[in-house]
A = this chain, B = another copy of it.
Amino acid sequence: MDDIETPAVIIDESIADRNISAFQKYCSKNGLNLRPHIKTHKLPYFAEKQLAAGAQGITCQKIGEAEVMANAGIGDILITFNIVGAAKLERLRALSDRIERLAVTADNQHTIEGLASAFANSQRPLNILIECDTGAGRCGVQSPEEVVELAKLVSHSPGLSFDGLMTYPPVAGAAAVNDFMNRSVSALKSERIKCNIISSGGSPDMWLAHEQPEATEYRIGTYIYNDRSLVERGVCKFADCALTVLATVVSTPTPTRSIIDAGSKMLTSDLLDLDGYGHVLEHPGIRIASLSEEHGILHHDVDTSLSVGDRISIVPNHVCVVSNMVDTVWIKGRTRELTGLAVAARGLVT
């Protein structure tokens, strides 16, 4: 650890393993299929561990991520995104042809017509989940009536198969999710459309997933590493945070200000409503007050004794965007040895 150059992203494998296992246990106990979102780690290595622990399949946000996971032999993938445009549809079709089971979400006619056209002559239908806006204000249809309309469109499209509903719920959104899903399932029933899957998710409410009895599946990313935002919400403790950024103090201009070699190109500017840009494990009183691109500006008491050359470990506000900043993460194994691992699905922006 002393030899590694900073800044560096370090992942404590024992903690990640424990996190994978704990939430898998919770899902199994509550009859939920777990479908981890790999956007957090972007590593086939951890996706395989999640599947080995009992996950049903994985979630990706980009075709590029899914292609990397398929290359690693992963066969059950849900892409929770409206896939739009000829080039992407062609890649999606090729991906579908080489894995066991592919599903995507859609919330509009244009997207569904594009998918239908790309899969018209497919031997195996593409599974479609209709995305529902249950209050998060991102994608998703606004009403059960729209659900039925799009489910019919899917059902009437050769090459597509209506598989169910998906939502990215608002925080503390169980009641809203249950209400929307109940009404949608009823509306679908009265049209004799069968809904196999109701997919919900989100890390902030992960331990309340059982309050969404309509859901059959839970998608979750951050839980494998955890981060400061989840600690602040009470979802986990700092001891459960597997990913830290190792940084070096490079300047101590005043007794209450020190500068580290990790800035917004490492910790990112994600605040997630928190104060400061991360939590310094060795000195919890330090405030990471601001970031420029390659410098982090620490404000602290005069008696926080930091010297140039000191190294500190930071739990970032939001891990998913941090692991995306580096080509390599360092896995700290049980022997405390570090192994560099290429973040295979990083930078695949399409």
Does A327 reach chain B (CB closer than 8 Å)?
Answer: yes
- Interface flags for A1-42 (1: CB within 8 Å of B; 0: not) read 001011110000000000000000000000000000001000
Interface positions, chain A 103-130, Cβ under 8 Å from B, are 107-108, 110-111
Asked if A250 is at the interface (CB within 8 A of a chain B CB), the reply is: yes
Q: Of A84-92, A193-201, A233-241, which binds chain B?
A: A84-92
Residue in contact with A297 in the complex, picked from B137, B248, B326, CB distance below 8 Å:
B137
Q: Does A294 touch B at the CB level, under 8 Å?
A: yes
Q: How far is the CA of A269 from the CA of B318 in the complex (A)?
A: 11
**Complex interface: chain B residues within 8 A of A70 (CB):** none
Expressed in whole angstroms, the Cα–Cα distance for A216 and B212 within the complex equals 65
Q: Is A163 at the interface (CB under 8 A from chain B)?
A: no
Which of the segments A152-160, A176-184, A259-267 contacts the partner chain? A259-267
The yes or no answer to A208 lying at the interface (CB within 8 A) is no
A269 near B266 with CB under 8 A, answer no
Say yes or no: B266 contacts A349, CB within 8 Å.
yes
Q: Give the distance to chain B from A160, nearest Cβ to Cβ, in Å.
A: 17
> What residue in chain B is nearest A295 (Cβ atoms)?
B138
Contact among B3, B141, B308 for A84, CB-based, below 8 A:
B308
**Central interface residue in A248, A253, A269, A295, by most chain B CB within 10 Å:** A253
Whether a CB of chain B sits under 8 angstroms from the CB of A324 is yes
Are B87 and A3 within 8 A (Cβ)? yes
Is A344 an interface position by the 8 A CB rule? no
What is the number of residues of chain A that contact chain B, defined by CB distance less than 8 Å? 60
In the complex, the chain B residue whose C-beta lies closest to that of A350 is B5
User: How distant is A32 from chain B, measured CB to nearest CB, in Å?
Assistant: 23
Interface string of A197-223 (1 = CB under 8 A from B): 000000000000000000000000000
CB under 8 Å from chain B, chain A span 260-312: 261, 264-266, 268-271, 292-295, 297, 307-309
Interface residues in A39-92 (C-beta closer than 8 Å to B)? 39, 61-62, 81-82, 84-85, 87-88
Contact B327 A347 (CB under 8 A): yes
Q: Contacts A87-B5, A325-B349; is A82 near B139 (CB within 8 Å)?
A: no
**Binary contact track A242-261/B, C-beta < 8 Å → 1, others 0:** 00000011111110010101
A201 CB → nearest B CB, Å: 12
B-chain residues with CB within 8 Å of residue A326 when the two chains form the complex: 347, 349
| Interface presence of A187 (CB below 8 A) | no
Minimum distance in angstroms from A300 CB to a CB of chain B: 14
**Given contacts A6-B350, A7-B349, A110-B308, A253 and B140 within 8 Å (CB-CB):** yes
Q: Is the CB of A139 within 8 A of B39?
A: no
Which A residues fall within an 8 A CB radius of B? Answer: 3, 5-8, 39, 61-62, 81-82, 84-85, 87-88, 107-108, 110-111, 131, 133, 137-142, 248-254, 257, 259, 261, 264-266, 268-271, 292-295, 297, 307-309, 320-321, 324-327, 347, 349-350
* Pairs of residues from A and B, 5 with the lowest C-beta to C-beta distance, nearest first: A110-B308, A82-B250, A269-B269, A5-B350, A139-B251
